[in-house]
Amino acid sequence: MTQLLVSAEHIYLRRSGRDLLADASLSVAANEVVTLIGPNGAGKSTLIRVILGLIKPDRGKVRRSERLRIGYMPQRIAIDPSLPLTVERFLSLLGKDKGRLQHCLELTGTARLRQQAVQSLSGGELQRVLLARALYRDPQLLVLDEPVQGVDVSGQAALYRLIQQIKGETGCGVLMVSHDLHLVMASTDRVVCLNQHVCCEGSPESVSSNPAYLQLFGEQTPDVAIYTHQHDHSHDHGDSTDCQR
């Protein structure tokens, strides 16, 4: 049986008279990539913060496996341009384990950047460094909020491949937030479509043809394929495309 890492169950959150989340549920198992998609303002980042324990919902529960280690890659990070901060120093703020730091740099292909100023990195380089930072504590669950933001198309494909490689090598679960329908569909096990509530969920193939998905996005068939994702394992979630509401 696949180990369930985290589940958010019937989450409600209301702020300033507006429903940010309304009966939203989501789960992630070990060795699974779950991608949360939805239009701007759908509540994707809000649900992530609830799962991380940064926001307490008005109603609903978040269940995590015991002593769950989570690595988080934020959507963006602001660093004072006048701060003399190298990549190595930036990562060492998490701890002094040089062996672990070197491993994360090598795993993400950023070892050559260790003495480079963080502020001088390109978009793709910075995202890889942030991914290395998220991996430092050997997480069981990797949470990535828009991991390819500010990266060109070829760099996006490379990052998605890297995420799949990391999942394969570590067996961690991956929860990834995206609004990009073109590349992400080829690199995920399960898609959850959110618009305050979960509209539909299941395999990329089933979700992309679901009426609720089509109502939100239209017939946007992904026109860039990284690779054909082969499922050589099973999940207990099924390929439900049952729509709520």
Domains identified in the chain, total number: 2
Q: Are 158 and 192 members of one domain?
A: yes
- pLDDT of 155: 81
- pLDDT of 238: 45
- pLDDT of 78: 82
Which residues fall within 8 angstroms of residue 127, CB to CB, at 6 or more apart?
73, 147, 148, 149, 150, 151, 155, 159
Q: Are 162 and 103 members of one domain?
A: no
- pLDDT of 45: 92
Paired tokens of 102: 């070197």
Q: Are 94 and 25 members of one domain?
A: no
Q: Are 132 and 177 members of one domain?
A: no
Owning domain of residue 188:
1-69+139-245
Q: Are 127 and 157 members of one domain?
A: no
Rounded to the nearest 10 degrees, how much is the dihedral formed by the CA atoms of 112, 114, 120, 124?
Answer: 60
- pLDDT of 231: 45
Indicate which CATH number applies to the domain containing 169.
Answer: 3.40.50.300
C-alpha to C-alpha distances, 157 to 35, 99, 147, 149, 182, nearest whole angstrom: 15, 28, 11, 12, 10
Single out the residue in 122, 137, 152 at which a domain terminates: 137
Residue 83 forms part of a structural domain? yes
- Residue 180 DSSP code: -
- pLDDT of 245: 43
Residue 63 forms part of a structural domain? yes
Q: Are 127 and 207 members of one domain?
A: no
Low-confidence ranges of the chain (pLDDT < 50): 221-235, 237-245
- pLDDT of 97: 92
Q: Are 238 and 148 members of one domain?
A: yes
- pLDDT of 235: 45
What gap in Å lies between CA 22 and CA 43, rounded to an integer?
Answer: 10
33-37 vs 173-177, strand pairing mode: parallel
What gap in Å lies between CA 90 and CA 182, rounded to an integer?
Answer: 32
Q: Are 194 and 228 members of one domain?
A: yes
Residue 74 forms part of a structural domain? no
Burial 69-99 (b: 16+ CB within 10 A, else e): ebbbbbeeeeeeeeeeeebbebbeeeeeeee
What gap in Å lies between CA 198 and CA 47, rounded to an integer?
Answer: 11
